Chains A and B, each alone.
Chain A
């Protein structure tokens, strides 16, 4: 039996988790498919050798390298997914903003690649610790990325910038000009309303490019 989520906020969070896991499972499926096929090619090569064909060491080495490369890729994907999953361990925790954004980018980069949109990230030159929910921050950033991706033409750029400003940390997401209606803004603000955490400030600036800023009190 399917249970309908109780509220819009919960549904948005579920959609976010769904989008991340769909993207990651697609990547992992590709990794597994490649390892499976290279394993099959190795089997073909050994069958050929048993039938008298000479073993080409260069080809064997290339197969081994392909398997090693894809295994490393798979390990990295699983590590990032695991980090993401632990973002909901505590409703509020102290976490490092650059690491949380890097984790999200690693998981959703392919969504931008599929649209041929460049996703650039500029990290702060130092660590910035905030007390909030890493999951909610990642969801808010994704909410912005998703909106930009809907209207960003191929070849355009969406930029993420993390900065330490005074006693706060700021994540700015900018991209081609977009209209953010009130409902969308309210949902974004709702994502960053984390109980028992210092309030985050969200602002939006228009022009040739739109910039959305999420600012949180931080300890540098």
Chain B
């Protein structure tokens, strides 16, 4: 297993549970949370080096979760994911405090490449 853990936060339960299985298949420890509140509960119990957060969630939005994480868990790198693209289909602007933003749908390789990049590890850039 890789020496880091990833927390996936999205209200689409079937998305995060599937991503957890796919990351673990590739030797990456991962856990899922379906809301900001549940994410904070997970972060209280365990240290995560990377959090992957959906921007649009009921209640606490991805930006709300990001802001709390910047204060309470500053060492956890944050990658945002979103189904909202820009007019020309390019990536939206990365908010302060986040490492990167990925547009849905994305490949597992692209997600892993961003995770490695957030941790400062070398990896092949996947579009």
Residues of chain A having any CB pair with chain B under 8 Å: 22, 25-26, 29-30, 32-34, 36-38, 40-41, 44, 48, 66, 69-70, 113-116, 154
Contact = CB atoms under 8 A, between A and B. Distances in A.
A124 B85 CA distance: 39
A114 B108 contact: no
Main secondary structure of the interface of B (DSSP, over half): loop
B18 A44 contact: no
Given A26-B84, A32-B105, A48-B25, A37 B58 contact: no
Nearest to A113: B58
20 contacts: A25-B83, A26-B83, A30-B12, A32-B104, A33-B15, A33-B105, A34-B12, A36-B105, A37-B108, A40-B22, A41-B18, A44-B21, A44-B22, A48-B25, A66-B14, A66-B18, A114-B57, A115-B58, A116-B58, A154-B59
B: contact size bracket:
20 to 34
A54 B25 CA distance: 14
Given A30-B12, A34-B14, A37-B108, 5 more contacts: A37-B18, A38-B18, A40-B18, A41-B21, A44-B25
A25 B83 CA distance: 8
B14 A70 contact: yes
A29 B83 contact: yes
Given A26-B83, A70-B14, A33 B104 contact: yes
Contacts of B22: 37, 40-41, 44
A29 B85 CA distance: 10
